[in-house]
Amino acid sequence: MRRVVFASGKGGTGKTTFTAITARLAAEDGPLVLADCDVEAANLPIALRATVTGSEPFAGGSKAVIDADACRGCGACQPVCRFEAIAADEDFWRTRAFVIDPWACEGCGACVPACPYDAITMEQSRAGEVHTAETVIGPMAFGQLVAGEDLSGKLVTEVRTRADAIGVEHGIDRMWIDGPPGVGCPAIAALTGTDLVMAVTEPTLSGEHDLMRLVTLARRFDLPVAVVLNKADLSASGARRIRERMAAEGLDLVAEVPFDAELAALPERLARGEEFAFPDTPGMDGVRATAAWLAERMGAGS
Ligand code: SF4
Ligand code: SF4
């Protein structure tokens, strides 16, 4: 399996647009598997009209729960909790029970033996879901993290595992991955075991800064990085700086893509299921150049 991950170090650079459209162009040469590793805001399933074919829960950590019927309201559990997650019920004078704030509970389990009435148990929480789906291009895996959960790196790993399984099941040996923003645990999980990082950046100081953080991360894993400069015409000085930095770092600058309203609208049109030909615009030329560059490195697929 050859895997390319589209990443940006930050959100809003057009990463999902490049993933979706280059995947669509690559699918003309052979099958590929898709994985959306942005488990906090998975947009690739929307852009490629994913139809979910299977879902499995993704388990989070354990949380303590008080059985209100068994609780006698003695309060013995409250001082045991270092995280101040236990308090008397707001309606204590009626219920005579204590309650646990699931957002504050760290799942240490210290309160369980502190209860003389065995009213506290540990329950496993549901932190999200892993989905498999069919899209207009090919099969996909993606995840959805429950708001407030912090296990996005582990969920990304689950998505990657599921995408690998899809590849084996369908005999497909290419994978397009839409990575998460940032350079934290989710990004590490998305980059691990890939063959190429396709960094999508823009000609701003923050774009350059976030790009270099991504490059530093990729180098820790010995991963080659290629760069697409999106919205390249928005700042001549910014674009020049990115060019110079890429040359100094020995990185491939695959394409410079000018801002293109038609290109920006393509994911929306794909999501609506419109039949259309890709426009002949400067922006689309840049995406085609990126797809052609990728075709040389990723092959035609089988
Ligand atoms: S499991 Fe630990 S963190 Fe959660 S309520 Fe009990 S003592 Fe507090
Ligand atoms: S120790 Fe047990 S009975 Fe006492 S307040 Fe806590 S949960 Fe209720």
Average pLDDT, the chain: 92
Counting from 1 in the atom list of ligand 2, the atom nearest the Cα of 118 is 2
Same domain, 294 and 209: yes
Same domain, 34 and 74: no
Q: Residues near 278 by Cβ (< 8 Å), separated by ≥ 6?
A: 21, 25, 266, 284, 288
**CA 181/CA 66 separation, integer angstroms:** 38
Asked, for residue 161, whether it belongs to a domain, the answer is yes
Ligand 1 proximal residues by C-beta, below 6 Å = 64, 80-81, 83, 85-86, 100, 105-111
**Containing domain of residue 226, as a range?**
2-49+135-298
What's the gap in Å between 110 CA and the centre of ligand 1? 6
pLDDT of 35 over the 90 cut = yes
Same domain, 188 and 256: yes
pTM of the model: 0.84
Q: Residues near 215 by Cβ (< 8 Å), separated by ≥ 6?
A: 199, 225, 249, 251
User: According to the per-residue pLDDT averaged within each range, which of 76-90, 149-163, 248-262 is highest?
Assistant: 76-90
Asked, for residue 188, whether it belongs to a domain, the answer is yes
Residue type, 128: G
pLDDT of 25 over the 70 cut = yes
What's the gap in Å between 103 CA and the centre of ligand 2? 19
Same domain, 285 and 229: yes
pLDDT of 15 over the 70 cut = yes
What's the gap in Å between 109 CA and the centre of ligand 1? 5
Here the CATH number for the domain that contains residue 64 is 3.30.70.20
Same domain, 159 and 282: yes
Same domain, 218 and 140: yes
Question: Which of 126, 156, 174 is where one domain is finished?
Answer: 126
DSSP three-state, residue 180: coil
Same domain, 96 and 150: no
Asked, for residue 55, whether it belongs to a domain, the answer is no
Counting from 1 in the atom list of ligand 1, the atom nearest the Cα of 109 is 1
pLDDT of 301 over the 70 cut = no
Same domain, 96 and 140: no
Ligand 2 proximal residues by C-beta, below 6 Å = 66, 71-77, 98, 114-115, 117, 119-120
What's the gap in Å between 118 CA and the centre of ligand 2? 8
DSSP annotation string for 88-119: E-TTHHHH--EEE-TTT-----TTTTT-TT--
Ligand nearest to the CA of 99: 2
**CA 96/CA 80 separation, integer angstroms:** 19
Q: Ligand 2: which of 112, 117, 121, 122 to mutate, most ligand atoms within 8 Å of CB?
A: 117
Counting from 1 in the atom list of ligand 2, the atom nearest the Cα of 73 is 5
Residue scoring higher pLDDT (297 or 109): 109
pLDDT of residue 253: 94
Total residues belonging to the chain: 302
Q: Note the pLDDT tens digit of each residue in 172-213.
A: 999 999 999 889 899 999 999 999 999 999 999 999 999 999
Question: Which of 85, 101, 126 is where one domain is finished?
Answer: 126
Q: Residues near 144 by Cβ (< 8 Å), separated by ≥ 6?
A: 39, 42, 128, 129, 131
Same domain, 15 and 153: yes
Same domain, 193 and 251: yes
Question: Which of 105, 126, 147 is where one domain is finished?
Answer: 126
Closest CA to 174 of 79, 20, 299, 43: 299
Asked, for residue 54, whether it belongs to a domain, the answer is no
Read off the pLDDT of each residue in 71-100 and give the average, rounded to a whole number: 96
Here the CATH number for the domain that contains residue 34 is 3.40.50.300
Asked, for residue 88, whether it belongs to a domain, the answer is yes
Asked, for residue 240, whether it belongs to a domain, the answer is yes
Alpha helices in the chain (DSSP H): 15-26, 44-47, 92-95, 152-170, 185-191, 205-220, 236-249, 261-272, 282-298
Residue scoring higher pLDDT (12 or 198): 198
Per-residue pLDDT band for 162 (boundaries 50, 70, 90) equals very high
Count up the domains in the chain and report the number: 2
Per-residue pLDDT band for 23 (boundaries 50, 70, 90) equals very high
pLDDT of residue 61: 81
What's the gap in Å between 76 CA and the centre of ligand 1? 13
What's the gap in Å between 83 CA and the centre of ligand 2? 16
pLDDT of residue 302: 59
Q: Could you tell me the CA-to-CA distances from 60 to 8, 123, 152, 190, 198 in Å, in that order?
A: 27, 10, 10, 19, 31
Same domain, 76 and 196: no
